[in-house]
Every structure is written in C-alpha cells, then in structure tokens.
Amino acid sequence: IIIPLWYTRSSVFQATILDSSEEPVFVIQDGRKVTLINSGDENTARFMVLPFLRQQGINRINWSIALHSQKGLSRGWSDILNTLRVKIFYDVEADDEKNYQTNNQPVLDAVGASRADYFTLVNNQTVELGSIQMKLINSETPIVEFMIHGQKWLLLGEVKLAEQSRLLAARSFPQTQVLWWSGNKLNPELLNIIRPKVAIASSDSVHPDMVELCRKNNILLFWTGRDGAIQWTPATGFQTTLESDKVDSSLL
C-alpha cells in the first residue's frame, strides 16, 4: 500500500525540541499546521531551524511565537520571516517597551514586511495553537505551559536560585509531566512541586546536582548537547537523534 506524502503530513503529530543551546527552539507539527517557538540567533535560524523545516517539507508557519527572556536577542526571526510564509506572529509584552522596540527593530520590520498578523501576549493569557493550548505564566523568565495531547509541558527560562524562591512563594509553578529548561540548577522544592516525569534541557550540559536529582526522583533526563534534537509523537513517545534511546509513550 502506497500512502501519499500529503496524507502522511496531514495526519502526523510531532513535537521537536531542536539542538540549540543559546535559546530553546520548539517545532510542533500538528497535521498540516505548524507552530514555531523561538528562532535562536541568525546562525541558529539559518543553519538549524530552516534546514530542519525544509527537511520536513514545511514552507508555511501558522503560529510563530517569540518567547525571548532577553529582549531583542532572537535575531533569527528576520531570516525565518524573509524565507517562509508566517500567518500569525506572537510576541510577549516587554517591561521596557521603548528599549525593546529599539533593540528588536529588525525583527519588527521583518514582521511588517511579511504581512503576518502581529499580536502581543500578556501574562496568564492562553492561546489555541491548533490542538495545542499554550499559557504564558510569566513573560520575563519566561514560564510557559503547553497542553500537548493531554500532557502538560512546562518551559522554564534560566532563573537564578534567588528568583526561583520568589517565584515559588508566588506559586508560579504548576504540576507538569514534562519539564523543559536550560539545564541550570533548580531548587529541589521546585521539582517536588511540579513533579515531572521527563526533564529536557536545551543545553550543552546539565548541572551535576540536577542529574543527581533526576536520578533520585526517577525523572527521565534528556539534554540536547548529549542527545541532539528530541522528538515526541503519540505513537513512539520520546526519541533522540544522536542515540537510539526510545521511551514508550505509555510512560506518559
């Protein structure tokens, strides 16, 4: 039986965390609808994000979302917007809007030239991305919750321990199945609250204390510096591109 390529693409669901260490990059393929979270810098966009999208046969992005913890540093968006058709571009509110617009003007110009619809996300706002829901919990860190096929994924930006204590006091962390973070050291109390089954670090390395905490708490740990890009599908669970490890989806 020969299955047409268009049918395969229209029925597939695949979530991929790319092998980027400077800024986490996430591609969600939901049938023919595509979401891109972050772009990285120019090199990441040109030599990692765009080649991956081309390999997947993607020439259009339905939702592009800039969840930048450091405003104006996601310069790869200009390359993305100049190369692919983008329908909707979501940005996050900036504490210093005037300074942000100055630093990020090339990206804002590219959004305007692309004719993408531009929206600004605010804290505690939820948006629908096809079958996915995304909630912006904290734009500064950032802290973002995704609901993906009944599983909660939590993106946690790089936060120092002192700031983690403040966020813990503010009850900013929901329970989650998948923790996605920078690989830095986290307060053990934070892990006790969110109780992830899987932890994924967009990083060349993971703090040794976190490796030990994950081991003690039976948390399955991946990081892009060791495993390459990390993909999840409902049928196969988690798979890595540099090793043959496979995690059955029944674990989640």
Q: Say if residue 32's pLDDT is above 90.
A: yes
Residue 241: inside a domain, yes or no? no
Instruction: Tell me what pLDDT residue 21 has.
Output: 76
Mean pLDDT check: name the lowest of 36-45, 54-63, 83-92, 163-172: 163-172
Longest pairwise C-alpha distance within the chain: 58
Mean pLDDT across the stretch 172-176? 88
Instruction: Tell me what pLDDT residue 250 has.
Output: 36
CA distance 117 to 119: 7
Q: Say if residue 156's pLDDT is above 50.
A: yes
Alpha-carbon separation of residue 128 from 4, 5, 186 (angstroms): 29, 27, 29
Mean pLDDT check: name the lowest of 54-58, 125-129, 144-148, 164-168: 164-168
* Burial (CB count <10 Å: 0-12, 13-18, 19+), residue 197: middle
Instruction: Tell me what pLDDT residue 10 has.
Output: 57
How many domains, the chain? 1
Residue listed under structure tokens 């690989």: 183
Residue 243: inside a domain, yes or no? no
Q: Domain limits at 27?
A: 5-233
Contact, 184 vs 211, CB < 8 A?
no
Q: Is the dihedral of CA 9, 15, 16, 22 positive or negative?
A: positive
pLDDT digit string, tens, across residues 210-248:
999 999 999 999 999 999 999 999 999 999 987 544 444
Residue 165: inside a domain, yes or no? yes
Torsion of Cα atoms, 54 then 3 then 6 then 152, to 10°: -70
For 71, the token pair is 């405003």
Instruction: Tell me what pLDDT residue 235 has.
Output: 95
Residue 34: inside a domain, yes or no? yes
CA distance 63 to 89: 6
Residue 247: inside a domain, yes or no? no
| pTM, 2 dp | 0.89
pLDDT digit string, tens, across residues 180-214:
999 999 999 999 999 999 999 999 999 999 999 99
Q: Say if residue 94's pLDDT is above 60.
A: yes
Between strands 13-17 and 230-233, the pairing is antiparallel
Q: pLDDT band at 140, cuts 50/70/90?
A: confident
Residue listed under structure tokens 């992005």: 61
Residue 242: inside a domain, yes or no? no
Q: Say if residue 62's pLDDT is above 70.
A: yes
Instruction: Tell me what pLDDT residue 52 has.
Output: 97
Instruction: Tell me what pLDDT residue 247 has.
Output: 44
CA distance 243 to 57: 24
Contact, 35 vs 130, CB < 8 A?
yes
Q: Say if residue 101's pLDDT is above 60.
A: no
Q: Over the chain, what is the mean pLDDT?
A: 87
Question: For residue 89, what is the domain's CATH number?
Answer: 3.60.15.10
Residue 122: inside a domain, yes or no? yes
